[in-house]
Amino acid sequence: NALLCGIRAARFDVIVTMDDDLQHPPSEIVHLLTKLDEGYDVVYGTPEHEQHGILRDLASQITKFALQSSMGVGIARKVGAFRAFRTVLRDAFAHYRSPWVSIDVLLTWATTKFAAVCVRHDQRQYGASGYTFAKLVRHALNMITGFSTLPLQIASLLGFGLSLFGILVLIYVVGRALLFGIVVPGFAFLASIIAIFSGAQLFALGIIGEYLARIHFRSMERPVYTIRQTTDPPESDHDAD
């Protein structure tokens, strides 16, 4: 939230964000700006060799997976705190008020022009990282539930799969009884009925969840379009007179 506050207070044409532990050397900023000049709107600095522990790396991968589902762009696997982007992009999320903030997701509201460059990543010299495994996992869950409908889609698919499985088992049980006179013990019939109704409930909850998600996304005031630049119509001869 503090980062979002700083972005809204920025005064220059380009904003650069980075961690305050200097693991991202300020001298690497020039590489981001050079890539930005090629026509991109957002450029991430991807470490050549990350200087983190195993748990931190695992948590980072979980977070990036969550970002992939939330951002919907291929660059999600290369995102990080070291980034440069054009200040004008903040206009797309000027009215965002939710306490759960993901700068990377908000940037996708304004542009699709993302890029990444390799940068140096140094060892931490002082103190300990505030990004613990638990915090990163919590951040990933917040992104999945706050900016993505992936859990609802999984519930719908799971419900549809269970219903389909139950129907197939029911057809098998009834078919054997009608065609061959073989009566399958009651458990198979009961299990198929339970699977059908359980799946139908999950599928229905997923559909209801999709509608609730639309209300949720609408409450975030995400713009349906963004305007980068406008041009005035040329003056006609009549106007000149």
pLDDT tens by residue, 180-206: 777 666 666 677 777 777 888 877 787
pLDDT band at 41 (very low <50, low <70, confident <90, very high): very high
Task: Inform me whether the pLDDT recorded for 165 exceeds 90.
Answer: no
Q: What residues contact 241, with CB distance under 8 A and at least 6 apart?
A: none
Pairing of strands 114-119, 42-47: parallel
Long-range contacts of 32-40 (CB under 8 A, 24+ apart): 32/82, 32/83, 32/84, 32/117, 32/119, 33/84, 35/115, 35/117, 36/84, 36/85, 36/86, 38/115, 39/113, 40/113, 40/114, 40/115
- Phi, psi for 11 (deg, rounded to 5): -115, -10
Q: Which of 68, 75, 67, 73 is nearest to 102 (CA)?
A: 67
Instruction: Please tell me the total number of residues recorded for the chain in this structure.
Output: 241
Pair 90, 7: CB distance under 8 Å:
yes
Helical ranges in 72-149 per DSSP H = 103-108, 133-147
Q: Which residue has the tokens 């904003």?
A: 15
Residue with more model confidence, 50 or 75: 75
**pLDDT at residue 40, as a whole number:** 94
Sorting pLDDT into bands at 50, 70 and 90, what band is 235? low
What does the alpha-carbon distance between residue 45 and residue 144 come to, in Å, rounded to a whole number?
A: 23
Answer whether 0.75 is exceeded by the pTM: no
pLDDT digits (tens, 9 = 90+) for 98-133: 777 888 888 888 888 999 999 887 777 666 666 666
Q: Which CATH class is domain 2-147?
A: alpha beta
Tokens linked to 193: 């009925």
Q: Is the pLDDT of residue 85 over 60?
A: yes
Phi/psi for 226 (5° steps) reads -130, 145
